[in-house]
Each structure stands twice: as C-alpha cells, then as structure tokens.
C-alpha cells in the first residue's frame, strides 16, 4: 500500500530527511513470500521387510512348512494343484503409496526336469486375482530363491491400497505346473515397495503488502506486520524442518533517490503457532539473512499451521522515500 504521509517537514520539522530534504515521506513495502519444497532425492522408494504367511489353504502337504525361512518345507506334486497362502499381516506407514510387490519362493523340485509354480495375487480375499502369468520357471533340484514381481511391479493393477494388502484380503495363490512334480517350498514371503506422500508447503498471502509508511513508523523505527503470513506444512510422513531466508542481500528500490541498498536484515521475522506438532520455532524477532535460518520444525502431519510476523526497520537516515520489495524464501525439508 502507499499513502501520502504528512510531509516530513510539516510533521517532523526537527527531523527532515537528510537525503535531499524531501517533503513527502512515502515508503511502499512489498515482501514477497516465495516457497520451495526441499529436494525429493533421498525420499524415494522404501521397502518393507519380508512378511511371512501365517495362514494357508489347499492341496500342498505340510503346508505350514512354508511359513518360515528354514525349518520345515511344504511339498507339492499334483498337476494344477492349488494352494493359497495368506495372513501376511502387511503393514505400511500411514499415507504410503504402494509402487511394487514382490513374492519370494524358496523352492526346488527333486525330480527333473523340474516343475514350476505359477503365482497370482488377490486383493479381496480370493474373489478376484491378478493375471500376470508369472511363474518360477522350471525349478532346479537344489533349493533356489525366485522373486516374482519387483520394485515397480503392481502385478497388472493400477494401485494397491493398504486395505488390499491387509488380512484377510491379500492372498497368494500357487498353482503347480508340470508333470511328475516332487516340489518343495521352504518359504513364500511377500514384501512391498512404497513411497511416502510428498511434502507440501503453502504461504498465504503470498505477498505481504506493508502499505505506505510515514513519519509515525519512522519515528518508531520500524513497521510491524503481525500477523503477516500463514504457513501451512504437509510433512510428507516424516519429521520436517522449515527454513527461511532472504531472496537477496538487499531490498529492491524504486524511487527518485539513489538506491540505498537497504539490507535484507532490516526485515525481522518470528514464528508463532498453536499447533502441537511443532516441536521448535523461532519465537523472537530475528534478522532475515540470505543464509537459511531454521524457522520451525516438528513431527509428521498434514495441515500444520504456522504464523509469520515481520518487522521492517526504518531509518530517516538510510531509507529515502520510494517503493521497496524483498523476496522471502521458505524451504521445507527433512531434518
Ligand atoms: Ca520353511
């Protein structure tokens, strides 16, 4: 905003602006709030441990032998015999997006050439199945590990929800292929690849308009804009840190006088919040710098609200009339 303040000469005759003895004292403040979200590198895929089955149904013999790595093993033989394994107890972090599923089969066939196991998955307790056509291929006579699916393989589906992977919805179906098979299955675990939701950061209003300042603010030595901005953090499932820094070392100036090179540090900022997910914040006015400063940090969550307050230092000696603007950069990242 701009407003015509009383003339400096009239309002404050004892304190004329030394620069050129201007009569009108008009300073427009414009503080732009730029936003950037921290690098996403390193926040890529994660993978669960191998989950073991705890339930089974079908025609294999000693089927519980495939519940664990080592120990007993299940035996399978008959052509097109089916067996189902479930009860995997798959759990994912809140908000995780499934990007891949792997089924591991530690298996072999004592008779050669070996048979194979065809593998499909159900997400609704066995009503519907994937149709990948995945198989172990011919099994060798010694125990071997075959992994079907992969880090970016959704088995032909567009998405798997956490519910799809939960008990009793998620089931692994094994179908024996080959004749005269004397197969063994030591373990049939499952693991899931996922990504956590991305971080989000918004600042409102994007631009702080400090309006037109006059003798009152100059006499006070600063103009305060409180509150100035509401900052909303979506943490992306992890702890977070919010940094603040100046977009440049000095304010941009436009006016009839030489650019005074008003330093960015003439803007002081502080953060308040009533959000319990914020574990630390800078609550005292701090000079803005081109170096990132920690504004706040906290625990995971969505819609975490912070309030920024700013003060702009003003000086008759250094700040001639004109329009000033300064960029503020907020950066959200992980600790
Ligand atoms: Ca076993």
Could you read off the pLDDT tens digit of each residue along the chain, which spans 335 residues? 232 332 333 333 334 343 332 323 345 555 554 555 544 433 467 899 999 999 999 999 999 999 999 999 999 997 789 999 999 999 988 778 899 999 999 999 999 999 999 999 999 999 999 999 999 999 999 999 999 999 999 999 999 999 999 999 999 999 999 988 999 999 999 999 988 777 788 888 888 888 888 888 888 999 999 999 999 988 877 889 999 999 889 998 888 889 999 999 999 999 999 999 999 999 999 999 999 999 999 998 888 999 999 999 998 888 888 888 888 888 888 88
Separation of 70 CA from ligand 1 center, angstroms?
Answer: 4
| Nearest in space to 200 (alpha carbons), one of 178, 170, 232, 174 | 232
Say if residue 131 is in the same domain as residue 147: yes
**Last residue of one domain, picked from the residues 126, 161, 195:** 195
Separation of 190 CA from ligand 1 center, angstroms?
Answer: 14
Separation of 106 CA from ligand 1 center, angstroms?
Answer: 9
Range of the domain at 100: 46-195
Find the CATH number of the domain harbouring 92.
Answer: 2.60.120.260
Separation of 187 CA from ligand 1 center, angstroms?
Answer: 5
Say if residue 55 is in the same domain as residue 131: yes
Say if residue 178 is in the same domain as residue 282: no
Say if residue 56 is in the same domain as residue 35: no
Say if residue 54 is in the same domain as residue 185: yes
Say if residue 293 is in the same domain as residue 324: yes
Say if residue 98 is in the same domain as residue 159: yes
Specify the pLDDT at position 177: 95
Read off the tokens for 94.
């809140």
Say if residue 260 is in the same domain as residue 272: yes
Q: Is 3 inside any structural domain?
A: no
**Last residue of one domain, picked from the residues 166, 195, 224:** 195
Say if residue 204 is in the same domain as residue 323: yes
Say if residue 35 is in the same domain as residue 127: no
Separation of 203 CA from ligand 1 center, angstroms?
Answer: 55
Separation of 193 CA from ligand 1 center, angstroms?
Answer: 24
Specify the pLDDT at position 2: 32
Exposure letters 172-203 (e unless 16+ CB within 10 A, then b): bbbbbbbeebebbbbbbbbbbbbbbbebebbb
3-state secondary structure of 291: coil
The bridge status of strand 286-287 relative to strand 27-37 is unpaired
Specify the pLDDT at position 116: 97
* DSSP one-letter code for 265: G
Number of domains in the chain: 2
């Amino acid at each position: 905003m701009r407003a015509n303040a009383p003339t400096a000469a009239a309002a404050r005759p004892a304190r004329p602006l030394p620069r050129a003895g201007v009569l009108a004292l008009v300073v427009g403040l414009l503080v732009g709030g730029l936003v950037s979200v921290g690098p996403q590198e390193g926040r890529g895929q994660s993978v669960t441990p191998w989950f073991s089955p705890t339930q089974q149904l079908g025609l294999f013999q000693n089927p519980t032998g495939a519940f664990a790595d080592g120990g007993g093993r299940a035996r399978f033989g008959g052509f097109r015999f089916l067996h189902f394994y479930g009860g995997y107890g798959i759990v994912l972090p809140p908000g995780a997006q499934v990007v891949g599923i792997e089924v591991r089969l530690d298996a072999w066939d004592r008779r050669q050439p070996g048979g194979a196991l065809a593998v499909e998955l159900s997400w609704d307790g066995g009503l519907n199945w994937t149709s990948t056509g995945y198989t172990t291929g011919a099994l060798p006579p010694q125990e071997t590990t075959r992994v079907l699916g992969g880090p970016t393989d959704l088995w032909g589906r567009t998405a798997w929800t956490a519910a799809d992977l939960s008990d009793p919805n998620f089931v692994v179906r094994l179908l024996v292929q080959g004749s005269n098979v004397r197969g063994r299955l030591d373990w049939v675990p499952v693991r899931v690849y996922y990504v956590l939701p991305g971080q989000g950061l918004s600042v409102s209003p994007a631009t702080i308009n400090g309006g037109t300042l006059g003798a009152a603010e100059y006499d006070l030595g600063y103009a305060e804009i409180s509150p100035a901005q509401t900052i909303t953090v979506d943490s992306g499932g992890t702890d977070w840190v919010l940094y603040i820094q100046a977009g440049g070392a000095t304010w941009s100036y436009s006016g009839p006088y030489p650019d005074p090179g008003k330093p960015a540090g003439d803007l002081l900022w502080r953060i308040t919040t009533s959000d319990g997910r914020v574990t630390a914040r800078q609550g005292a006015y701090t000079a803005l710098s081109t170096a990132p400063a920690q504004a706040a940090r906290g625990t995971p969550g969505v819609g975490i609200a912070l309030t920024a307050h700013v003060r702009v230092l003003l000086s008759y000696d250094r700040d001639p009339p004109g329009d000033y603007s300064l960029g503020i950069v907020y950066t959200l990242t992980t600790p």
